Amino acid sequence: MDILDTVDISGPSPTVEAHLDELAGELISGIVAIDGPSGAGKSTVADALVARLRERGTGVQLIRTDDFATWDNPVAWWPELETDVLHAFIRRHDYHYRPRVWRGGVPEVGRRVWLRWEPLLIIEGVSSARRRIAERLTYSLWLDGGPAEERLERAVARDGEGSRTELERWQQFERGWFAVDRTRDRCRVLD
């Protein structure tokens, strides 16, 4: 499985592009979360925002929740991200973590990745704007990404037909997660 929201060749919508231009002009430091359901285009938006920020000379690092999540552990990995990334970021230290590497559909803990501290950290992925971090976020952004059926088909096109069952199960999980966490209610909606 490769659950990354990879680049959508169509890119963000013109409305989202306008939001990103505005944000790139405002963001200097802090933590930004880009959340929403699977297949919504979070990675595409995160990549576009990071590119704009770097063009302006803003120091930024991007962390993807897919580096931590697995089919069987969709959100309970958060303490690992806090320990390995957030605590170091807040102390202005370089940080390191061990992203998941998928081999034959099975996740393994990968080699240590070291990132230089930058004043802006973007966390992209399902549950990145969770209630637990809400008060520490500079911005919480949300993408709906259209109906669940369309998002599922985008995710299957991205990850392969063999992942359909897991992606369907993932969508069921995230619906429940977002309903309880009420994530969207705390976010600036970009669609």
**Host H or E run for residue 145:** none
Please identify which residue in the block is written with the tokens 């957030």. Answer: 86
Distances (CA, A) of 170 to 29, 82, 134, 160: 32, 23, 23, 15
Residue type, 91: R
CATH number of 14-73+119-189: 3.40.50.300
Residue 70 C-alpha from the chain's centroid: 14
Please identify which residue in the block is written with the tokens 């520490």. Answer: 136
**Which pair of structure tokens corresponds to residue 140?**
């919480």
- What was the pLDDT predicted at 11? 61
Q: Write out pLDDT tens, residues 155-184.
A: 999 888 988 999 999 999 999 999 999 999
In the chain, domain spans: 14-73+119-189
pTM: 0.89
DSSP for 54-94, please give it: HHTT--EEEEEGGGT-BTTBSSTTHHHHIIIIIHHHHTT--
Residues 71 and 169 sit within 8 Å (Cβ to Cβ) = yes
Quick check: 141 pLDDT over 90?
yes
- How many other C-beta atoms are found inside a 10 Å radius of the C-beta of residue 22? 10
